[in-house]
Amino acid sequence: MVDALKRASAKRITVVLPFYGYARQDKKHRGREPISARLMADLFKTAGADRLMCVDLHTSQIQGFFDGPVDHLFALPLLANYVGSKVDRKNLVIVSPDSGRVRVAERWSEILGGCSIAFIHKTRDPKVPNEATTGKVVGDVKGMTCVVIDDMIDTAGTVTKAVDALIEAGAKDVIIAATHAVLSGPAIDRLKKSRVSEVVVTNTLPIAEENRFDNLTVLSIAPLLARAIKEVFEDGSVTSLFDGHS
């Protein structure tokens, strides 16, 4: 599509890419591996894209892979405000599925009025992709409503193990909140069998009807994208859309 627009003499081409494919392959985890996130950026640039607009990149440094403006938008306010409207914030704990996303948990806490934070210590087997071994819960979750946050749900192995760990640690209720619903392989079956009360995602990826279940809530990312597109094409300010607090 970008190539066709370029050959049709488009003045400027902005790619609105809510889900950036191959984002997790942003470095060489082992020898003889590609850095596919960089390759995707190079392909867009070569095709003729002038600007990229993405939602919740797996890692922020991917913005530097593209030689041009990258608008990195955040679904965090959308997800956090929805969750905050459903639960008692005084008994809420934001749970990062690993130590690397604690900063995101802190931003959730700021939006929701300073609620508690916990994280789950986990390890990964480099030979088993997209799976993690869940360790212990770091933080007090006993009798609390926990919100497990992540950028995506792929096979759902990590988040469902986190739910089990939180319930065993005494959590009263657990909600999962994630931006991208990849839902590959056994994900749907795992989520249906999990003791989670609600799974909240956005529609950055289409979710087939057969992949929907009773406690799945899908929020629309369209208003955020519309506002960003309007600011870009009217040469307005998009800075407020990047900090996750707008």
Indicate which residues carry an active-site annotation: 122
Q: Are strands 116-123 and 133-138 parallel, antiparallel or unpaired?
A: antiparallel
Could you give the CA distance from residue 76 to residue 229 in angstroms, rounded to a whole number?
18
d(CA 117, CA 245): 18
Contact present, 220 and 204 (Cβ < 8 Å): no
b/e map 97-112, b = 16+ CB within 10 Å: bbeebeebbebbbebb
Place of tokens 């948990």: 105
The one-letter code for the residue type at 120 is I
Is residue 82 a contact partner of residue 200, using CB atoms and an 8 Å limit? yes
